Structure 1
Amino acid sequence: MDDYFYMKEAINEAKLARLEEEVPIGCVIVKNGKIIARSHNYTYKGKSALKHAEILAIDKASKYVGDFRLEDCTMYVTMEPCSMCAGAIINSRIDRLVIALADVKRGACGSNTNITGDRSQLHFLDAEFGLMKDQSLEILQSFFKKLRDRRKKKKKILASKKQESFLICSNNMPNYIIFINQGSK
């Protein structure tokens, strides 16, 4: 098995997240050629900002190996980890990080900031970017397009109901409106 196989598994996790209406980011952790943990974002359903794919996968992998140190492990993730997740990656001693898509706004593994590559830390690593980035990008773009379309539709429905309310009020109070207009002369 190779990097493509493991990243495809991470992408499958991202697809599961999308089906669950979570931001579609997926992650797998591999040790000695075996996937020991897999996860995807669970922040909305889990009602916690901590339930990122990387954090959940690290927790599962730590339980699997019986130690917080995930030495000789590789993490495959569909989007560049944020600063919280980058800190967890460093603290868990993961040796290799393969990222499909850079996050130039919030990424903390080299594209915006570089927590994982900070040589002043006891543990650091250089992230590898770009493996299957087009597939990851397509999943994220389709998710956010669907979300925007849903919000537009909801906004239209609310605007329509507001217009109906105004017409109902106007039709029920013509004398009141005339009275105000007459009284202001």
Structure 2
Amino acid sequence: MLIEDLKRRTLNLAKVSLSEGEVPVGCVIARAVAWTSDQKCSYETIGEGRNCPNATKNPTRHAEFEAVDQVLEFCRRSNLNLEEIFQNSILIVNVEPCIMCAGAIVRLGIPRVVYGCSNPRFGGFGSVLDVPKSLDVDIMVEVGYAGDESIELLKTFYACENPNAPNPIKKEGRKIIKNDK
């Protein structure tokens, strides 16, 4: 698969997330396997994921972690060196990884990250915090593929009511007692 195919796959995974009532984020982790005759790199997908915190009732089940878990399983099944696999992989995701996911990406040693649109609320690759820079780690980052489409998916999600959102706790009947001395 070419990188363009992997980018399209992340968008398809994001659309599935949206259809399941999750924040529309899709992620693919791939490793280079060959060069084509026109000098393009061909990749093999070794992990993919989409957001599923609502379905799993686990707020850490971001698309990136789902993809990482598949890579872990791939390495176990194939008896491959996990560290070596991550060091020779690329992570592609349609929305900038959050700070938590950026930290995991850095710790795993993934050298290249490609994402579609920035994440101004939680972004860990510069929008809120530049995790690789703060940890003095060099990661090649490419930004901007299908950013408009990713933003539209996010707008669609946030325009709808989230049936999985917790009910707010109302604090009725409470009084502030002033201690006058």
- Per-residue displacement from partner, 1:59-94 (whole Å, max 9, x unpaired)? 211221244421110011011111110111011111
CA shift, 1:119, in A, is 5.5
Q: Which stretch of structure 1 is more off in the superposition, 109-118 or 47-56?
A: 109-118
Tell me which residue corresponds to 1:165.
none
Q: Relative to total residues, which structure has the larger helix share, 1 or 2? A: 1
Tell whether the 8 Å contact from 2:27 to 2:92 is kept in structure 1 after alignment. Answer: yes
Indicate yes or no: 2:2 matched with 1:2: yes
Give me the TM-score of the superposition, normalised by structure 1: 0.74
For structure 2, the 5+ residue unaligned runs are: 33-42, 164-181
Tell whether the 8 Å contact from 2:17 to 2:24 is kept in structure 1 after alignment. Answer: yes
Tell whether the 8 Å contact from 1:4 to 1:131 is kept in structure 2 after alignment. Answer: no
CA shift, 1:110, in A, is 1.6
Tell me which residue corresponds to 1:162.
none
User: For the pair shown, which has the larger CA radius of gyration, 1 or 2?
Assistant: 1
Q: 1:119 to 1:26 in 2, by over 3 A?
A: same
- Per-residue displacement from partner, 1:5-26 (whole Å, max 9, x unpaired)? 1111001110110111111111
Tell me which residue corresponds to 1:141.
155
Q: Please give the secondary structure, in 1, of the residue aligned with 2:125.
A: coil
Matched to 1:62, the amino acid is L
**CA distance in 1: counterparts of 2:101 and 2:73, whole angstroms:** 17
Q: Please give the secondary structure, in 2, of the residue aligned with 1:112.
A: coil
Tell me which residue corresponds to 1:27.
27
**CA distance in 1: counterparts of 2:147 and 2:13, whole angstroms:** 15
Tell whether the 8 Å contact from 1:118 to 1:124 is kept in structure 2 after alignment. Answer: no
Tell me which residue corresponds to 1:64.
74
Tell me which residue corresponds to 1:16.
16
Indicate yes or no: 2:139 matched with 1:129: no
Give me the TM-score of the superposition, normalised by structure 2: 0.75
What does residue range 18-167 of structure 1 map to in structure 2 within 5 Å? Answer: 18-32=18-32, 33-66=43-76, 67-69=81-83, 70-118=86-134, 120=136, 123-147=137-161
Percent identity over the alignment is: 29
Matched to 2:16, the amino acid is L
